[in-house]
Amino acid sequence: MPTRYWAINAEKHFIYFLDCESIHEAERAAGLSPGVVGHGAVDWRIACVVDDFGMFVPPEQQSYVMINGRLFAGNMLLYGVNEAGETIDLDNVDSLRPVFLHGREEVEAVIQQGLVKRPALSINDETIWQWPEPRPEGL
């Protein structure tokens, strides 16, 4: 039985639903490459899949989505999760209110306004990368 997912096309600024047999099928349908993705949470009931390296794409070549005070790079797949962490149908995403952004200037503006934190990667409390720097060696 298919599961209901939602996909966000960051470049074209639209959200659409997908009924897919597996999360990998849904990832491909959303324009993501299974195996090169990261999973995260949008809120307590909605999880997401994004391109693992989307934040490292030069800002002028990337589109972004701001949801619930978090910045995501590129296309996204959204799916529902229950209390046990199992994937369930995501019937609607009306509460999310995504804000679509493109390029360095628009992202810098929402960071400066305090609407999102600057994306960064830290190891042992040492920041080794922050947006919009290029991808660090070894990643």
- pLDDT tens digits, 88-133: 999 989 889 999 999 999 999 999 999 999 999 999 999 999 999 9
pLDDT for res 124: 94
pLDDT digit string (tens) for 6-28? Answer: 999 999 999 999 999 999 999 99
In this structure, the chain runs to a length of 139
**1 confidence band (pLDDT: 50, 70, 90):** confident
Ramachandran assignment for 74, one of left (phi > 0), alpha (psi -120 to 50 degrees), beta (any other): left
Q: What is the pTM of this model?
A: 0.92
Q: Measured between alpha carbons, how far is 109 from 34 in angstroms, rounded to an integer?
A: 32
Q: In the chain, what percentage of residues exceed pLDDT 70?
A: 100
Predicted local distance difference test score (pLDDT) of residue 34 = 84
φ/ψ of 24, rounded to 5, equals -65, -40
- Quick one: pLDDT at residue 95? 87
